Amino acid sequence: MLTAITRAVSPAIVNCELTFLDRRPIDLHKAREQHRAYEQLLQNLGAKVIPLPAEPTLPDSMFVEDPAIVLDELAVILPLGTESRRPEAASLANALEKFRKLAHITARGSLEGGDVLHVDRTLYVGLSTRTNAEGIRQLAAILAPHNYKVVAVPVTGCLHLKSAVTLIADDTLLVHPGWVDRDAFPEFRVVEIDPDEPHAANTLRVGSGLIYPSCFPGTQERLSHAGIAVTTVDVSELQKAEGAVTCCSLIFEA
């Protein structure tokens, strides 16, 4: 069964970590409404949603994608690139151990799930402000016995690799070419974002559906011209916390 782990919005979200965005006021009530609508959309697309309770002292904890990678064979628990976020992993590991054997990357490395683009047996991993070479090396060593290939991809100008590129069809990527080199993915067809919408490259595949933020009409038109249909959701308050549609859930087959 397709399963999505989510976590309720922390009341401390106004104190979230920000790297590439200026701090703006976040409406907590509206953020929670948007998050519930996102969870409902996951259900509508066929996922069983497992909501974890809010972590009142961890502002970024609703971004459950970052502390773990879930594959068919195991889940890898990650040391996040921001020290204040590292406590998020413990309760997420407790939830995941019901479904997968756990492996752990140790703290000399840093790695965040937002930097991991998983396509078949390859994991493209962003070298970013949150993920370092040691974290990628450890991940490759953990996954080698399971025949996964790990490919490091430099990222500039944005928080994570999936801020710059996401999979929108089996053979097609949505790309911000200023933040990641499209030549790193030579085997894929590429749709480029509307240049007036720099944060528009993040999408989430759920079963046969594709979730997309409602605030990027120019890029949505490009997707339509490429034959890619999306279901939109308003995540404007969550985006103020440097969030995106991929980072608010961990999706896997249970």
Strand partners, 2: 253
14-54 confidence digits (pLDDT tens): 999 999 999 999 999 999 999 999 999 999 999 999 999 99
pLDDT digits (tens, 9 = 90+) for 131-176: 999 999 999 999 999 999 999 999 999 999 999 999 999 999 999 9
The answer to whether residues 4 and 250 touch, using CB atoms and an 8 Å cutoff, is: yes
Residue 104 annotated to the active site = no
Q: Active-site residue 118, yes or no?
A: no
Q: Kindly name the residue from 16, 158, 247, 248 that is annotated as catalytic.
A: 247
Helix (H, G, I), strand (E, B), or coil: what is residue 168? strand
Residue 96 clears pLDDT 90, i.e. is over it: yes
CA–CA dist 187, 192 (Å, integer):
15
- Are 89 and 80 in contact by the 8 Å Cβ rule? The answer is yes
CA atoms within 13 A on the CB side of 129: 13
For residue 224, give the CATH number of its domain: 3.75.10.10
Catalytic one among 16, 35, 158, 160? 160
**How much is the average pLDDT of 89-94?**
97
pLDDT, tens digit, 9 for 90 and up, residues 206-251: 999 999 999 999 999 999 999 999 999 999 999 999 999 999 999 9
Name the DSSP letter for residue 247. Answer: T
pLDDT > 90? residue 199: yes
> How many independent structural domains does the chain possess?
1
pTM over 0.75: yes
Domain with 89, as residue range(s), is 2-253
Dist. CA 45–CA 210, nearest whole Å: 9
Backbone region of residue 207 per phi and psi (left: phi > 0; alpha: psi in -120 to 50; beta: other values): left
Q: Dump the DSSP string for 28-52.
A: HHHHHHHHHHHHHHHHHTTPEEEEE
Q: Inform me whether the pLDDT recorded for 125 exceeds 90.
A: yes
Is residue 107 pLDDT above 90, yes or no? no
* Torsion of Cα atoms, 35 then 198 then 201 then 83, to 10°: -60
- Mean pLDDT (whole number) for 44-67: 98
